[in-house]
Chain A
Amino acid sequence: DAGVTQSPTHLIKTRGQQVTLRCSPKSGHDTVSWYQQALGQGPQFIFQYYEEEERQRGNFPDRFSGHQFPNYSSELNVNALLLGDSALYLCASSSVEPVEGEQYFGPGTRLTVT
Chain B
Amino acid sequence: GQNIDQPTEMTATEGAIVQINCTYQTSGFNGLFWYQQHAGEAPTFLSYNVLDGLEEKGRFSSFLSRSKGYSYLLLKELQMKDSASYLCAVRDPTSRQNTGFQKLVFGTGTRLLVSP
Name A104's contact: one of B45, B89, B96 (CB within 8 Å). B45
Task: Kindly list chain B residues whose C-beta atoms are within 8 Å of the C-beta of A90.
Answer: 42-43
Interface membership of chain A positions 58-93, coded 1 if the CB is closer than 8 angstroms to chain B and 0 otherwise: 100000000000000000000000000000101010
- Contact across chains for A48 and B31 when beta carbons are under 8 A apart: no
| Total CB contacts across the A-B interface at under 8 A | 72
Secondary structure of the B side of the interface? loop
Q: Interface residues of B toward A: which range?
A: 20 to 34
Q: Whole-angstrom distance between the alpha carbons of A14 and B32 in the complex?
A: 38
- Contact across chains for A56 and B104 when beta carbons are under 8 A apart: no
Interface centre among B31, B42, B48 (most CB of A within 10 A): B42
Interface membership of chain B positions 93-108, coded 1 if the CB is closer than 8 angstroms to chain A and 0 otherwise: 0011111111111111
Report if A1 contacts B (CB, 8 A): no
- Contact across chains for B103 and A102 when beta carbons are under 8 A apart: no
Q: Whole-angstrom distance between the alpha carbons of A92 and B37 in the complex?
A: 14
Name A56's contact: one of B35, B101, B108, B109 (CB within 8 Å). B101
- Contact across chains for B106 and A44 when beta carbons are under 8 A apart: yes
